[in-house]
Structure 1
Amino acid sequence: MVVASPNSILGERIIPIDLPMIDLSAEKSMVIKLIVKACEEYGFFNVINHGVPHDIISKMEEVGFDFFAKPMEQKKLVALGNPFGYGCKNIGFNGDMGEVEYLLLNANAPSIPNDSSNFSSSVSAYTEAVKELACEILELMAEGLGVPDTSIFSTFITQLDNDSLLRFNHYPPKDCKDRDNSNSYNVGFGEHSDPQILTILRSNDVAGLQISLQHGVWNPVTPDPAAFCVNVGDLLEVMTNGRFVSVRHRAVTNSYKSRMSVAYFGAPPLDACIVAPSVMVTPNRPSLLFKPFTWAEYKKVTYSLRLGDSRIDLFKNCTQIE
């Protein structure tokens, strides 16, 4: 287990990394090849020329920062029913004692009450655009894996009763008392993997995301304002029979500037059965690594465990061939 202190974390190695950068406007077969390779090796990649208009992104970021700039008493009024709405709390457990301010919304209706700043319309336009991007990427993934029905993954998040989320995370800049130590940082959101199918992440041009490709090693990711960061979720690892990897990651506050990240979590309906298609059973993976389950079952486990605890291992198929 990695143990954290408020400013620095002992026993860790910090090794910067450049994630694969994939130009979605490039030749399709090459794009597919690069996406599959990135999902197998990193679980994360960046995309440019993604088709999401700049004005839609900028309006979303503007209303997001405006929201977090409001007085605390106003933000706390945005209570949309558990688990949605505004929150500000310690995540806690497993070295993730950072403070994070957030706004969690249903991606199918990303609105807030008493909206006087065009928040809902701006965020709805953004959500629809990144949902289309997520579908495009999922279909390229399916084609690259040789799945006959290339919509097999994207169909989950286009169904009307999908359980997708949109989450704004706001991280304050590093405290003044820490500025004399340029190597120090605070954990803003602790170590975890995303339980859904796919995440499309956007952040302002401020560093903070770190991924862990090896236990005890954290790889800071350089932000790119022109790109979206895409990562594999637990469900996609299951549906690719372990070929794609859902990688643990965290967010740290090590900047003099506020960081806001906006994550679209593509998720299926609660009753959707999660299982790898038969084409994912190959000589290299001659059996299903995970037993079938519903998203509701997995979601229940996700919320019953501490952040950082392994969830996906609980659904491994004990009868698989070694």
Structure 2
Amino acid sequence: MAAGDIPSIDMQDFPRQFRRLREACEEWGCFRVVNHSIPPSLLSEMKSVVGSLLDLPLEVKRRNTDVIAGSGYMAPSKVNPLYEALGLYDMASHQAVDAFCSQLDASPHQRETIKIYAKAVQELAMDIGNKLAETMGLGGDLFKEWPCQFRINKYNFTPETVGSPGVQIHTDSSFLTILQDDENVGGLEVMDKSGAFVAVDPMPGTLLVNLGDIATVWSNGRLCNVKHRVQCKEAAVRLSIASFLLGPKDAAVEAPPELVDSEHPRLFVPVTYEDYRKLRLSTKLQAGEALALVRVDS
């Protein structure tokens, strides 16, 4: 299959795109977003900031500590030796953004860029989430209190690592992810319904949206949690920015009553995002298999 098979959603073409959005989320669990609200200049500036932060000395990057499990600095590991990341939990919180910037001695310009970017991506995540809910007949600002986390990623690809995995096969634990991928260096692949991997080639100015495990729980199994991975295709540094709409901070995630009926009985027990995240980490079930542990019949 070709990269062109990944569905594209034009954010300026609603309501005509509602059916296409629903189909993309059920069949693929991912789609490209075009004509979105984030200016190309901001995407470019944020990538520059990300590159600078990930080039900081290790002792500085290690100050980026966890707020929730796995939300801070991730050093290269045996499982993912070519990958490292910095993280910020709760992008909508000015206090959290300031703390992240202070940990890394961000300059005033870098700090301002991160704040503007965080606000823009948070708003886009809310817009996409609400449009997706609308395709299911649900209204209101359903995800307003759900925190967003972002992770800035660096892959140190060398000639010797071409053909190696940059990140192993996984699903995201979150509801949805907005990914600003590297516009020059490819490597991202998503799994289609047949189990084949499809390359998601760089397309400057677009963003990729992935649905995660929490979307499957919330939708009572209707939405696909897409498996994906990163492969080393060339000797180059690859940078990406992933922003995750997680789940309610304290309340449990469960399917709204409108999505449960005699034909669609409740599939999953209510579970908080934090408990589900811990379950995935403790069991090392990172590719959606942990959902079986929160099924009603498990």
Q: 1: distance between equivalents of 2:196 and 2:82?
A: 22
Matches within 5 A, 1:185-264: 185-205=163-183, 206-214=185-193, 217-264=196-243
TM-score when normalising by structure 2 = 0.87
Q: 2: distance between equivalents of 1:53 and 1:43?
A: 25
Q: Which residue of 1 aligns with 2:40?
A: 54
- Gaps of at least 5 residues in structure 1 are 1-14, 179-183
**1:99 and 2:82 equivalent?**
yes
Larger radius of gyration: 1
**1:37 and 2:16 equivalent?**
no
C-alpha displacement of 1:137: 0.7
For residue 154 of structure 2, the aligned residue among 150, 170, 195 is 170
**1:127 and 2:105 equivalent?**
no
Alignment RMSD: 2.2
CA displacement 1:104-137 (0-9 Å, x = unmatched) = 1122323232223632221121111011001111
Q: Is the 8 A contact 1:63 1:117 kept in 2?
A: no
C-alpha displacement of 1:275: 0.8
Q: Is the 8 A contact 1:190 1:308 kept in 2?
A: no
TM-score when normalising by structure 1 = 0.81
Q: Which residue of 2 aligns with 1:281?
A: 260
Q: 2: distance between equivalents of 1:91 and 1:124?
A: 33
CA displacement 1:62-119 (0-9 Å, x = unmatched) = 111112233444434x333454443322262xxxx44201111122323232223632
Of 111-120 and 59-68, more deviation after overlay is shown by: 111-120
C-alpha displacement of 1:240: 1.0
Q: 2: distance between equivalents of 1:267 and 1:176?
A: 36
Q: Which residue of 2 aligns with 1:136?
A: 127
Change (3 A) 1:99 1:215: farther
Q: Is the 8 A contact 1:199 1:233 kept in 2?
A: yes
- SS in structure 1 of the partner of residue 16 of structure 2: helix
CA displacement 1:184-240 (0-9 Å, x = unmatched) = 512111111111111100012121111112575222111211111001121111111
Q: 2: distance between equivalents of 1:293 and 1:137?
A: 23
**1:155 and 2:141 equivalent?**
no
Q: Is the 8 A contact 2:28 2:193 kept in 1?
A: no
Question: What letter is aligned with 2:36?
Answer: H
Q: Is the 8 A contact 1:140 1:150 kept in 2?
A: no
Q: 1: distance between equivalents of 2:66 and 2:200?
A: 34
Q: Is the 8 A contact 2:64 2:87 kept in 1?
A: no
Q: 1: distance between equivalents of 2:66 and 2:266?
A: 37
- Gaps of at least 5 residues in structure 2 are none
Change (3 A) 1:85 1:117: farther
Q: Is the 8 A contact 2:163 2:232 kept in 1?
A: yes
Q: Is the 8 A contact 2:247 2:272 kept in 1?
A: no
C-alpha displacement of 1:307: 5.2
Q: 1: distance between equivalents of 2:135 and 2:241?
A: 27
Q: Which residue of 2 aligns with 1:79?
A: 64
Q: 1: distance between equivalents of 2:73 and 2:278?
A: 21
Q: 2: distance between equivalents of 1:125 and 1:196?
A: 23
